[in-house]
Amino acid sequence: MHQGKIIIADDDAVLRLDLRTMLECMGHTIVGEADNGESVCALGRRLRPDLFILDVMMPRMNGLQVAEIVSQERLGAVLMLTGYSDVPLIEQATRAGVLAYLVKPFRQQEMQPAIEIAISRYRELRALEGARDVAQEQIETNRLVGRAKRVLMERHEISDQEAFRRLNAQALATERPLREIAECILLASGVCDDPPVKRPR
């Protein structure tokens, strides 16, 4: 069972208190509360919770607007509380990045499954994004290394294998990533328009 850090956002103080009590009884930690959308975003950026529990109707920014910002900035999972269950609202919520929702009034036994769904889906999405980013990084590295090999092959009249061996040897000798070595060669040759990007070792 996920026991996470949660931000609660609802303009009804009584509902927030009831929700806090319920969630703490379930073992969760409430790291912040807000009664309007702008405050939720500020809290989320500072506290980075596992989950936002948002009411749809809030002043200064409604729950759907907050959910969209939270989703875009990857601040955490979003569980929406709503008094409505119509299809258009659910579709809006899904587009905004809401990963689970509960229709008021809800019971405690409905809350934990909704939390589990929201946090699990969020983690799955982040894992997929991470895998995609790694794949894109590798594609770009392969492209730059290929261009750097061609530069070395033309300059020194060597084979593809020898050019790659020299790139690898330089990377090992300087303890720098292969991509960075390739970028430096391209930059020095006037082939690369952008300066090499410094990456943590």
DSSP for 133-161, please give it.
Answer: HHHHHHHHHHHHHHHHHHHHHHHHT--HH
CATH of domain 133-188: 1.10.10.10
Residue-averaged pLDDT of the chain? 86
CA distance 91 to 69: 17
User: pLDDT class for 196, splitting at 50, 70, 90?
Assistant: very low
CA distance 95 to 64: 9
Q: 102 pairs with which residues across the strands?
A: 81
Contacts of 55 (CB under 8 A, 6+ apart): 9, 10, 11, 12, 15, 63, 80, 81, 82
The ranges assigned to domains in the chain are: 5-106, 133-188
Contact between 41 and 61 (Cβ < 8 Å): yes
Q: What is the largest CA-CA distance in the chain?
A: 77
CATH of domain 5-106: 3.40.50.2300
The amino acid that residue 165 corresponds to is R
* pLDDT value of position 191: 61
The gap between the terminal CA atoms of the chain, to the nearest Å, is 36
Per-residue pLDDT tens digits for 39-91: 999 999 999 999 999 998 888 888 899 999 999 999 999 999 887 767 777 78
pLDDT at residue 197 tops 70: no
Per-residue pLDDT tens digits for 118-135: 998 888 888 888 888 888
* pLDDT value of position 53: 95
Domain 5-106 and domain 133-188 have a common topology: no
